[in-house]
């Protein structure tokens, strides 16, 4: 599902500045369908792990209040140009998302 994730990592001094965008509906489960009056089932990414060259640097748990098409940014000290940043995410229905980029 590489096409679901957009990533960019750039060096700022000795720190890699990483920005990630994941395409996801992030449905809260608290909204009602206006026609059926039924709650729309929750569907949201709840775990995200980012790694630098295979070593975990960021381990996140998310609730339903992360915005639709989630954006997040983080910084890693000691990274070098060409280093590999990977992001693994999973939603509450078990769908997995994966993205990777090289530090520029």
Partner 1 sequence: MNPVRRTLLKSIVTVGMLASAISVSLVKPAAALVASWNKNAFSAKTIADAMKEAGYSGAAESGDILLKVPDIAEDGAIVPLEVTSNIPGTTSIAIFAEKNPNPLVADIQFSNGALPYISMHIKMAETSFVRVAVKAGDKIYAQSKEVKVTLGGCGG
Residues of the shown chain interacting with partner 1 in the complex, contacts defined by CB under 8 A: 15, 19, 26, 28, 30-32, 34, 40, 46-47, 49-52, 55-68, 70-79, 88, 90, 96-98
d(CA 40, CA 30): 7
| In the complex, least distance from residue 27 CB atom to partner 1, rounded to whole angstroms | 10
| In the complex, least distance from residue 34 CB atom to partner 1, rounded to whole angstroms | 8
Q: Which is nearer to partner 1, 7 or 97 (CB)?
A: 97
CB burial string 69-83: b at 16+ within 10 A, e below: ebebebebeebeeeb
Q: What is the DSSP letter of 53?
A: T
Say if CB 85 and CB 73 are below 8 A apart: no
| In the complex, least distance from residue 88 CB atom to partner 1, rounded to whole angstroms | 4
């Amino acid at each position: 599902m590489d096409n679901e994730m957009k990533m960019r990592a750039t060096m700022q001094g000795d720190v890699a500045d990483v920005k990630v965008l994941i395409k996801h509906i992030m449905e809260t489960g608290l909204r009602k369908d206006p026609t059926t009056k039924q709650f729309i089932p929750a569907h949201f990414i709840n775990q995200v792990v980012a790694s630098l060259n295979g070593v975990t640097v960021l381990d996140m748990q998310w609730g339903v209040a992360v915005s639709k098409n989630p954006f997040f940014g983080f910084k890693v000290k000691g990274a070098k140009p060409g280093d590999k940043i990977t992001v693994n995410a999973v939603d509450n229905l078990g769908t997995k998302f994966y993205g990777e980029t090289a530090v520029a």
